Structure 1
């Protein structure tokens, strides 16, 4: 067990009831000896606010209340549980992303986002044994209540929290926490959703080196030519393909960055917000922009997409990141023969998809749901951190807005209204 002098109290943001304002309260910090052997005590410096957090808070995604949400944390390790199997040490800089069990078949084949108990571990606020963990707090009425923790294994809407080790990824120390936390969920999801199409078939191909080879600019500077020649023949060429990204939040931006990196022949960005369309043109270099409001029907939209796609075939890869059933239908109908549509945004669970089933068969379409981009954070996040350090993700400066903890409710409001793409709570 490795420790340093620890605080005994910490500030947290509690959602006491569904949709009610977050309350800034104090909870006890567990002592080092009380940490579970899988847990790591982390002082978060920055906590991103994601639409998944807002969905759990608003009731769109079921969650037990009261609870401490937050799943995009960046900070430093203060203590490690006794007998821990983790290799974290005091002082490590870490990003907290999603949690996985480590024992199921998906985890063992290096696909933690496909963990068999992903939903209860992350959205259900349970530990690995599927038990709820609660901490006492006093609310604004001075009533003692119990708040559920372990949201995505972390509950990073708290300054100092006990985090499940499998939620954490070690990163370099020379990146500001506000940038690091912005990579933890949405951006990672969009980026990996696209990049995973180019990964090899073998488990060992999911490595930092392989990501580097996919990034042609990075490869030319950092990997000797013999390595590139040895492995490049395993990587699919995308120069004849069209990528369509619907919805330009953090997920959509990550997908666009990956599409540019992989060299898609045409990358199309679609949204209903002209400001976001201009943002991706300026910061990511996307020239083919589509405002979905310009089309009165699905048929008009589909025809336009086909007209501007490579060889006027339609899109070979479509990423739906807006979370609306209408956009998903439009995106699927714009697919080329043999195209793949990826559902990343989260539409209402009861929303029905009106797609002629015969077209799915005759056009050989693949429609796939993907959680977290099927990412392995221990590969993806360090790679994205290095992209930030190399100046390749300047778009983050345009989407991040920081707030102090007592402005949490304003931050949520701004995210809901689309005023800010990535609000970040900075802890004192």
Structure 2
């Protein structure tokens, strides 16, 4: 375990390391490198596990190894670099989300999810100067900085843009997943799809992001909320969280499209989102849209995957298809909004989460893979 120095800053930290492509996750003791001016050292209280981590380990999302993943962290600030705003003082509680440059056109226009520097700041695992945040035995380089946070560690170096200050009474162990999965689902409904009162909505895939979308659609007053999935237990949970209709998916894509249209008075659904990243499902989603309907792709497949559309029907019906990263949210604004909605009873995320001790990470992962847990949360002691 980590050995704190007299100033409260640890020399080392336990961390869950993705060792190699198609390798495994291992708990290792790593050394922390000194903070740069735009970084903070955060003691992680809890972190959600996302399918993104599994997709990186199995190669669906290309990556370099070894590295510390984790991008739904929550914790307490230990120390900060000189350019970190004074509001992020040691002792402040923070939820962590995705890093961004705050300087490019997309960031300045309020769309940091599409930051010009996202490939480097979110995915690369190195700082701008090429340095790393973790070392093993003072020799082996370990990539960190995943989403600007790499929160699969008890202590981690966090980019200032990833931090969202939250009230001192915030339940970090419960609300950690707001920084990605929940934000993506609710944000896509609110921002990318602009769902309003009476809107008809279809959600393809009701895992964490899909169930968050269901809750978001209910929050926005959608008239019809259709959940589509291959798991009847997940569909039951979707109904409990706000879905007005559910469809058990099978190989009969045409049948699913017809069911959706029948539910929507034969016109098709006005808004839809796909969380699976499966091209065939995306094609069915587009076919199920009404005239001037809009659909969003949220699920991430491996690079090079393509989905096709019937161009004439797409054109003549005025359909729209957009990509949605992190729900097109400004996290510093949207995470407080979700905290308020949770407090009001509108986002009962405790229904889809389960907490595990950090050392039981493999049990949490296996439970997620098997569908026994929707959103595992690892808790550091």
Normalising by structure 1, report the TM-score. Answer: 0.83
- The residue aligned with 1:43 is 43
The answer as to 2:34 corresponding to 1:77 is no
Say which is worse superposed, 162-171 or 261-270, in terms of deviation: 261-270
Alpha-carbon distance in structure 1 between the residues aligned to 2:326 and 2:131? 23
> 8 Å contact 1:125–1:132 — kept in the other structure?
no
> 8 Å contact 2:353–2:375 — kept in the other structure?
yes
Q: Show the 5 A alignment for 1:256-271.
A: 256-271=214-229
- The residue aligned with 1:178 is 173
Counterpart secondary structure, 1:182? helix
> 8 Å contact 1:35–1:80 — kept in the other structure?
yes
Aligned length: 376
Counterpart secondary structure, 1:316? strand
**CA-CA distance at 1:351 after TM superposition:** 3.0
Q: Deviations over 1:194-224 (max 9, x none)?
A: 111577xxxxxxxxxxxxxxxxxxxxxxxxx
The answer as to 2:19 corresponding to 1:24 is no
Alpha-carbon distance in structure 1 between the residues aligned to 2:129 and 2:218? 40
- The residue aligned with 1:281 is 239
**CA-CA distance at 1:40 after TM superposition:** 0.8
Alpha-carbon distance in structure 2 between the residues aligned to 1:112 and 1:285? 29
> 8 Å contact 1:120–1:130 — kept in the other structure?
no
Alpha-carbon distance in structure 2 between the residues aligned to 1:86 and 1:307? 55
> 8 Å contact 1:66–1:147 — kept in the other structure?
yes
- Higher share of residues assigned helix: 1
Alpha-carbon distance in structure 2 between the residues aligned to 1:412 and 1:187? 18
**CA-CA distance at 1:417 after TM superposition:** 2.7
Counterpart secondary structure, 2:213? helix
Normalising by structure 2, report the TM-score. Answer: 0.93
Alpha-carbon distance in structure 2 between the residues aligned to 1:391 and 1:237? 19
- The residue aligned with 2:3 is none
Q: Show the 5 A alignment for 1:301-340.
A: 301-309=256-264, 311-340=265-294
Alpha-carbon distance in structure 1 between the residues aligned to 2:304 and 2:192? 29
Q: Deviations over 1:167-198 (max 9, x none)?
A: 11011222322222121111100101111157
- The residue aligned with 1:222 is none
Alpha-carbon distance in structure 2 between the residues aligned to 1:289 and 1:355? 24
Q: Show the 5 A alignment for 1:164-175.
A: 164-175=159-170
- The residue aligned with 1:56 is 56
Alpha-carbon distance in structure 2 between the residues aligned to 1:86 and 1:358? 55
- The residue aligned with 1:354 is 308
- The residue aligned with 2:9 is 6
Alpha-carbon distance in structure 1 between the residues aligned to 2:171 and 2:84? 28
Alpha-carbon distance in structure 2 between the residues aligned to 1:19 and 1:58? 5
CA RMSD of aligned residues (A): 2.0
| Structure 2 unaligned spans of 5+ | 1-5
The answer as to 2:344 corresponding to 1:390 is yes
The answer as to 2:94 corresponding to 1:91 is no
> 8 Å contact 1:11–1:25 — kept in the other structure?
yes
**CA-CA distance at 1:92 after TM superposition:** 0.9
- The residue aligned with 2:248 is 291
The answer as to 2:375 corresponding to 1:422 is yes
Q: Show the 5 A alignment for 1:140-289.
A: 144-197=139-192, 237-239=196-198, 241-282=199-240, 284-289=241-246
